[in-house]
């Protein structure tokens, strides 16, 4: 059977299906992965990884006969797809099957910020309700102007899922899309006009720190910043300063610049709602992602075709 390197976790179902056709080698079984790769790297033809771990450049270089990388996630900023193309390696990912779940996470974070969900939960649990009376009033999430940075598969799902709150939706991308929302060619201008800025672009160099201090100042003290994309898209140090100094109102974050490390200063801020990168993390959606990840591997093994190649490999 061909040899597959499994980087990061996989569900039992994924592993069961993959093990019928491949000999699985788990990267986590090797304390000194470089040494193991030096002896075994040439026999690996397939890699299964995820958006967090990707494939590090030294690992990719050591896999001299690699033919395919299947990513358990849609974001592949930790895989050098251009290098893969140069070497004739196919890269696949899991678009579409997670759109609705990640959109739900974005809406969840926005509503948690507006209605102070965590503060009021603590109000009940701590006994403050009995001791001090009602908690302070919150803000209504209805009728807001919401700027979406990134209007691809998930951005469009977020826009659709927000409809019951009757928003005015603006969006910013590099190229205008055929969607029923207002395009704004300048991100800072969109932030000035928005009550909420939702970030849902890919990560990587082209979006690094796109949301900088100027954008956050433009969003302003009554503004809410939501990030379900990648931590690298926001200048995290500038965001902590803006939230601490009251130049930015609230932040709801699923992703962080150096996750799983989250700066203590950010953890201490009361005007934030923080999630541990769980945008797609439900049983149902992870099952669908896992199925597509394995379907891509088995299809490639069977006849060299794949279902969902990354754009660079199409
Ligand atoms: P997609 O369909 O490729 O959409 C990406 C959007 O971002 C496009 O509208 C694109 O438009 C825009 N964009 C790209 N580069 C940009 C730039 N430099 N400036 C402004 N806009 C830019 O991707 P998707 O399926 O919606 O997924 C988006 C990302 O969400 C993934 O890559 C991943 O990082 C993240 N994600 C996170 C989670 C989570 O658990 N939190 C789960 C799934 C996905 P233009 O090309 O016209 O600019
Ligand atoms: C996953 C994601 O958490 O799909 C993505 O881009 O960020 C998430 O769905 C990640 O890929 C790990 O599987």
Peptide bond into 260 cis (omega under 30): yes
pLDDT per residue as tens digits for the range 180-202: 999 999 999 999 999 999 999 99
Question: Does some domain include residue 41?
Answer: yes
Among 26, 85, 31, 35, which residue's Cα sits nearest to residue 62? 35
User: What's the CA gap between 24 and 90, in Å, rounded?
Assistant: 19
Q: What CA–CA distances, in Å, run from 76 to 47, 84, 237, 239?
A: 13, 12, 24, 25
Q: Is the CB of 74 under 6 A from ligand 2?
A: yes
* pLDDT confidence tier of residue 250, bands split at 50, 70 and 90: very high
Q: Residue 174 sits in a domain of what CATH number?
A: 3.40.50.720
Q: Are 60 and 70 in contact (CB under 8 A)?
A: no
Q: Which two tokens stand for residue 275?
A: 């999630």
pLDDT per residue as tens digits for the range 64-112: 999 999 999 999 999 999 999 999 999 999 999 999 999 999 999 999 9
Counting ligands in written order, the one closest to the CA of 9 is 2
Question: Does some domain include residue 230?
Answer: yes
Half-sphere exposure of 305 (CA within 13 A, CB side): 2
The protein residue with its alpha carbon nearest to ligand 2, atom 4, reads 73
Among 195, 253, 189, which residue's Cα sits nearest to residue 222? 195
Q: Looking at the structure, tell me whether residues 92 and 105 fall in a common domain.
A: no
Q: Looking at the structure, tell me whether residues 226 and 150 fall in a common domain.
A: yes
User: What's the CA gap between 113 and 249, in Å, rounded?
Assistant: 9
User: What's the CA gap between 150 and 132, in Å, rounded?
Assistant: 43
Q: Looking at the structure, tell me whether residues 159 and 196 fall in a common domain.
A: yes
User: What's the CA gap between 45 and 65, in Å, rounded?
Assistant: 6
Q: Is the CB of 277 under 6 A from ligand 1?
A: yes
User: What's the CA gap between 93 and 99, in Å, rounded?
Assistant: 13
Q: Looking at the structure, tell me whether residues 268 and 295 fall in a common domain.
A: no
Q: Looking at the structure, tell me whether residues 93 and 103 fall in a common domain.
A: no
pLDDT per residue as tens digits for the range 160-176: 999 999 999 999 999 99
Q: Is the CB of 50 under 6 A from ligand 2?
A: yes
pLDDT of residue 152: 98
pLDDT of residue 312: 98
Q: Looking at the structure, tell me whether residues 180 and 127 fall in a common domain.
A: yes
Q: Looking at the structure, tell me whether residues 227 and 80 fall in a common domain.
A: no
Q: Looking at the structure, tell me whether residues 161 and 66 fall in a common domain.
A: no
Question: Residue 72's beta-bridge partner residues?
Answer: 50
pLDDT of residue 61: 98
DSSP3 helix / strand / coil % (the chain, rounded to 5)? 45, 20, 40
Domain of 186 in residue numbering reads as 99-274
Among 157, 74, 144, which residue's Cα sits nearest to residue 110? 144
Number of domains present in the structure of the chain: 2
Ligand 2 centroid–CA 277 distance in Å is 8
pLDDT of residue 127: 98
Counting ligands in written order, the one closest to the CA of 8 is 2
- Could you tell me the pTM of the whole model? 0.98
pLDDT of residue 194: 99
Q: Looking at the structure, tell me whether residues 151 and 263 fall in a common domain.
A: yes
Q: Residue with structure tokens 């000035």?
A: 192
Q: Looking at the structure, tell me whether residues 107 and 256 fall in a common domain.
A: yes
For residues 39-62, give the mean pLDDT.
97
Question: Residue 183's beta-bridge partner residues?
Answer: 171
Question: Does some domain include residue 279?
Answer: no
Pocket mutation for ligand 1, best pick of 71, 75, 286, 289 (most atoms within 8 Å of C-beta): 75
Ligand 1 centroid–CA 228 distance in Å is 10
For residues 282-295, give the mean pLDDT.
98
Q: Looking at the structure, tell me whether residues 15 and 124 fall in a common domain.
A: no
């Amino acid at each position: 059977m061909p040899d597959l390197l499994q980087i990061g976790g996989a569900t039992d179902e994924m592993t069961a299906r993959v093990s019928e056709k491949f000999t699985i080698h788990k990267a986590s079984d090797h304390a000194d992965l470089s040494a193991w790769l030096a002896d075994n790297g040439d026999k690996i033809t397939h890699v299964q990884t995820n958006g967090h771990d990707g494939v590090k450049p030294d690992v990719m270089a050591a896999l001299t006969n690699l033919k395919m990388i299947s990513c358990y996630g849609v974001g592949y900023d930790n895989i050098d797809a251009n290098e893969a193309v140069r070497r004739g390696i196919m890269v696949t990912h899991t678009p579409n099957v997670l759109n609705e779940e990640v959109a739900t996470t974005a809406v969840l974070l926005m509503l948690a910020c507006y209605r102070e969900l965590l503060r009021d939960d603590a109000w009940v649990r701590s006994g403050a309700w009995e001791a001090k009376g009602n908690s302070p009033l919150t803000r209504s999430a209805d009728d807001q102007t919401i700027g979406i940075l990134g209007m691809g598969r998930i951005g469009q799902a977020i826009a659709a899922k927000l409809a019951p709150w009757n928003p005015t939706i603006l969006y910013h991308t590099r190229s205008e899309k055929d969607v029923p929302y207002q395009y704004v060619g300048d991100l800072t201008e969109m932030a000035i006009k928005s009550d909420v800025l939702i970030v849902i672009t890919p990560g990587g160099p082209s979006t690094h720190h796109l949301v900088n201090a100027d954008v956050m100042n433009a969003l302003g003290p009554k503004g809410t910043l939501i990030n379900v994309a990648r931590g690298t898209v926001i200048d995290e140090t500038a965001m902590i300063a803006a939230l601490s100094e009251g130049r930015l109102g609230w932040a709801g974050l699923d992703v962080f610049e150096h996750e799983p490390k989250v700066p203590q200063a950010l953890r201490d801020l009361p005007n934030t709602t923080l999630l541990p990168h769980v945008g797609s993390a439900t049983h149902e959606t992870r099952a669908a992602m896992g199925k597509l990840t394995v379907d891509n591997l088995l299809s490639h093994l069977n006849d060299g075709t794949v279902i969902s190649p990354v754009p660079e490999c199409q």
